[in-house]
Amino acid sequence: MEKTWLITGVSSGLGRLLAEKALLRGDRVVGASRSAEALPDLRARYPERLRILAMDLKDQKSVRAALDRAFAVSARIDIVVSNAGYGLLGAAEEAGDVQVRDIIDTNLIGSITLIQAALPHLRSQGGGRIQQVSSEGGQIAYPAFSLYHATKWGIEGFVESVAQEVAPFGIEFTLVEPGPARTGFGSSLVRTRPLAAYEGTPADQIREALRGSWVIKGDPDRMTDAMIRLADQDGPLPKRLVLGAEAYAGIRKALGGRIEELDRQKDIAVAADFTDEELARP
- For the stretch 2-19, pLDDT in tens is 999 999 999 989 999 999
Using left for φ > 0, alpha for ψ between -120 and 50, and beta otherwise, residue 245 falls in alpha
Asked if 148 is an active-site residue, the reply is yes
Q: What pLDDT was estimated at residue 189?
A: 86
Which residues neighbour 75 within 8 Å (Cβ) at sequence distance 6 or greater? 4
Torsion of CA 256, 261, 266, 267, to 10 degrees: 150
pLDDT above 90 (res 211) = no
User: What's the whole-number average pLDDT of the chain?
Assistant: 94
Instruction: Determine the structural domain holding residue 207 and report its residue range.
Output: 4-246
Which residues neighbour 72 within 8 Å (Cβ) at sequence distance 6 or greater? none
CATH number of the domain that 15 lies in? 3.40.50.720
Does residue 264 lie in a domain region?
no
CA distance 12 to 25: 19
Does residue 196 lie in a domain region?
yes
Does residue 255 lie in a domain region?
no
Does residue 102 lie in a domain region?
yes
Give the percent of the chain with pLDDT over 70.
98
232 class by beta-carbon count within 10 Å (0-12 exposed, 13-18 middle, 19+ buried): exposed
Does residue 269 lie in a domain region?
no
Q: Say which of 62, 134, 135, 146 is annotated catalytic.
A: 134
Asked if 82 is an active-site residue, the reply is no
Does residue 204 lie in a domain region?
yes
Overall number of domains in the chain: 1
Whole-angstrom CA distances from 15 to 6, 62, 148, 229, 268 are 10, 19, 19, 15, 46
Segment 149-168 shows an average pLDDT of 98
Q: Kindly provide the residue ranges of all beta strands, DSSP E only, lying in 61-127, ordered along the sequence.
A: 79-82, 88-89
Does residue 266 lie in a domain region?
no
- In this predicted model, what pLDDT tens digit does every residue of 89-105 receive, in sequence order? 999 999 999 999 999 99
Q: What pLDDT was estimated at residue 75?
A: 86
CA distance 118 to 280: 48
pLDDT above 70 (res 252) = yes
Segment 156-184 shows an average pLDDT of 93
| Contact yes or no for 101/145 (Cβ under 8 A) | no
Strand, helix or coil at 134?
A: coil
pLDDT above 80 (res 187) = no
pLDDT above 70 (res 186) = no
Q: What pLDDT was estimated at residue 208?
A: 86
Name beta bridge partners: 218: 181
Lowest mean pLDDT across 192-196, 217-221, 229-233, 251-255:
217-221
Does residue 93 lie in a domain region?
yes
pTM recorded for the entire structure: 0.94
pLDDT above 70 (res 150) = yes
Q: Say which of 82, 86, 111, 152 is annotated catalytic.
A: 152
